[in-house]
């Protein structure tokens, strides 16, 4: 990506008034409740509000920050909010922006998870989820198509995607090993055939002008955003303590094999593997939460993803559902405190999942602000993105199997679920309907079928 000419502000537009900390707080709180639509929708809302309407940050600086967040593991929309909050109001501004992006979703998911696990057998609830499950299968298929159409630009990258699909589907290779292998292939391929691993598309620099911004194209980085080795060291030390202290307390008080301790350790690893967004890490979460630890069943995993799709915030918040269900079912505090166990587990896994995202911004932000040239995807990250497409395709097969053959291949084929899934896929891919619309329509169809079927 080459820098485009600097946008010229429209004549007559005055500079915006400085945004106070509490004005920003109010906006980030509002964003936490309206951030539906996945990362694309969340980023679009932030662009409209922060670049076009409020002019807190210019188009070019907004996309520059987004390019950096796209390189990181973790939810890029939440990281972008953290980055802009940090630029505007220092560390506390970043913390507030990032936390409020997640907090409403956490509270909503704790409530929905409790309703699901406590009342999931109620006929009308079961009917709703009967229709939602096929919709989720279609949504994951759409994610594979969307990422694949952008990432698989040549036969080399198609080959990496196919190899990752075979590795995880047929050979049950762990997701971290697939990521590592793809990175190695990308590194070698980038040196031997760089033309095949150069990235295209992505988020280029914008040329639109909305008038002068608080953080404009040539606004120098504020003092807190200038790189200093002492500040980097302080961020890393504080981050290490914020991870090590709760992990140490869990280990000492409950033991390494306790459900809470293992959840903390597992979701720390998951947080560092979310290249390509939540859909990419879901197979890893499935392998661990369902296959290894047995915190929930395959069907519950699909239902959790459905709940994650219907709540604001990043989709990776499905980890809160996983934590809640795992602790609730295992009754880690005894049968008298099931809700408390689930709510605490959901909070713990959210902490360990999102802590690295804050550290990436606070540690790397000053390095990004030290230059306003475009950031580029490296060849290893290009290969990882291609591998992610294969992994998501495997997730589609996994969900499709459990939805269409709920009793296994030996049982009957669920033709109604197949029709709902097909209709959802057509609505998403052909008619470009929104995820919320599709889920709502499929939930109603499932309820009607269970009512009259």
Tell me if residue 167 falls in helix, strand or coil.
helix
Task: For residue 219, give both structure tokens.
Answer: 């606004």
Residue 423 has pLDDT above 80, yes or no: yes
Contact criterion met (CB below 8 Å) for 277 and 315: yes
β-partners of residue 215 are 57
Burial class (CB in 10 A: 0-12, 13-18, 19+), 90: middle
Instruction: List pLDDT tens digits, range 43-78.
Output: 877 888 898 889 999 888 887 787 678 777 888 889
Tell me if residue 159 falls in helix, strand or coil.
helix
Structure confidence at residue 36 (pLDDT): 63
Instruction: Give the orientation angle of helix 435-452 with respect to helix 415-429, to 10 degrees.
Output: 160
Structure confidence at residue 410 (pLDDT): 86
Structure confidence at residue 158 (pLDDT): 96
Nearest CA to 186 out of 393, 388, 378 is that of 378
Nearest CA to 297 out of 279, 322, 315, 317 is that of 322
Structure confidence at residue 372 (pLDDT): 54
Contact criterion met (CB below 8 Å) for 187 and 205: no
- Distance in angstroms between the alpha carbons of the first and the last residue of the chain: 55
Instruction: List pLDDT tens digits, range 120-169.
Output: 767 887 788 889 889 888 887 887 887 788 778 899 999 999 999 999 88
396 vs 136: CA distance, rounded Å:
9
CA dihedral 295, 299, 302, 303 (to 10 degrees): -90
Structure confidence at residue 190 (pLDDT): 84
Alpha-helical (H) ranges within 152-216 are: 155-169, 175-192, 194-197
Integer CA distances (angstroms), 5 to 8, 217, 241, in order:
9, 11, 44
Instruction: List pLDDT tens digits, range 320-361.
Output: 999 999 999 999 999 999 999 999 999 999 999 999 999 999
Structure confidence at residue 12 (pLDDT): 54
What 8-state DSSP symbol labels residue 49? I
Phi, psi of 57, rounded to the nearest 5 degrees = -145, 145
Q: Residue 391 — very low, low, confident or very high, per pLDDT cuts 50/70/90?
A: confident
Domain boundaries, the chain: 22-200+212-452
Structure confidence at residue 128 (pLDDT): 84
């Amino acid at each position: 990506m080459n820098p485009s000419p600097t946008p010229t502000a429209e004549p007559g537009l005055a500079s915006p008034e400085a945004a106070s900390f509490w004005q920003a707080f109010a906006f980030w709180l509002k964003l936490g409740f309206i951030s539906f639509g996945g990362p694309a929708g969340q980023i679009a809302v932030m662009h409209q509000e922060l670049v076009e309407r409020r002019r807190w940050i210019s188009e070019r600086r907004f996309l520059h920050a987004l390019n950096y967040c796209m390189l990181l593991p973790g939810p890029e929309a939440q990281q972008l909010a953290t980055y802009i909050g940090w630029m505007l109001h220092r560390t506390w501004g970043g913390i507030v922006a990032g936390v409020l992006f997640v907090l409403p979703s956490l509270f909503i998911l704790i409530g929905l998870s409790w309703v699901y696990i406590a009342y999931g057998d109620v006929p009308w609830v079961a009917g709703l989820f009967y229709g939602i499950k096929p919709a989720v299968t279609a949504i994951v298929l759409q994610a594979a198509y969307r990422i694949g159409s952008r990432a698989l630009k040549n036969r080399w990258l198609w080959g990496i995607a196919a190899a990752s699909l075979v590795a995880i589907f047929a050979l049950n290779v762990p997701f971290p090993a697939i990521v590592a292998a793809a990175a190695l292939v990308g590194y070698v391929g980038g040196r031997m055939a760089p033309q095949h691993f150069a990235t295209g598309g992505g988020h280029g620099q914008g040329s639109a002008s909305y008038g002068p911004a608080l953080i404009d194209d040539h606004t120098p980085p504020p003092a807190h955003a200038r790189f200093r080795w002492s500040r980097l060291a302080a961020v890393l030390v504080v981050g290490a303590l914020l991870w090590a202290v709760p992990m140490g307390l869990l280990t000492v008080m409950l033991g390494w094999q306790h459900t809470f301790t293992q959840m903390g350790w597992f979701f720390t690893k998951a947080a560092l593997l979310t290249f390509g967004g939540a859909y990419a890490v879901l197979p890893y979460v499935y392998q661990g939460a369902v296959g290894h630890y047995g915190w929930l069943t395959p069907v519950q995993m699909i239902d959790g993803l459905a709940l994650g799709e219907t709540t604001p915030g990043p989709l990776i918040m499905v980890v809160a559902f996983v934590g809640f269900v795992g602790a609730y079912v295992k009754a880690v505090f005894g049968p008298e405190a099931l809700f408390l166990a689930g709510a605490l587990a959901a909070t713990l896994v959210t902490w360990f999942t999102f802590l690295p995202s804050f550290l990436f911004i606070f540690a790397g932000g000053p390095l990004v602000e030290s230059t306003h040239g475009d950031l580029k995807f490296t060849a290893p990250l290009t290969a990882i993105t291609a591998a992610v497409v294969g992994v998501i395709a495997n997730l589609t097969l996994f969900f499709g199997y459990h939805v269409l053959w709920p009793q296994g291949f030996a049982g009957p084929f669920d033709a109604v679920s197949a029709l709902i899934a097909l209709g959802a896929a057509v609505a998403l891919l052909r008619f470009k309907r929104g995820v919320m619309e599709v889920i709502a329509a499929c939930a109603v169809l499932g309820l009607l079928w269970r009512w009259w079927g």
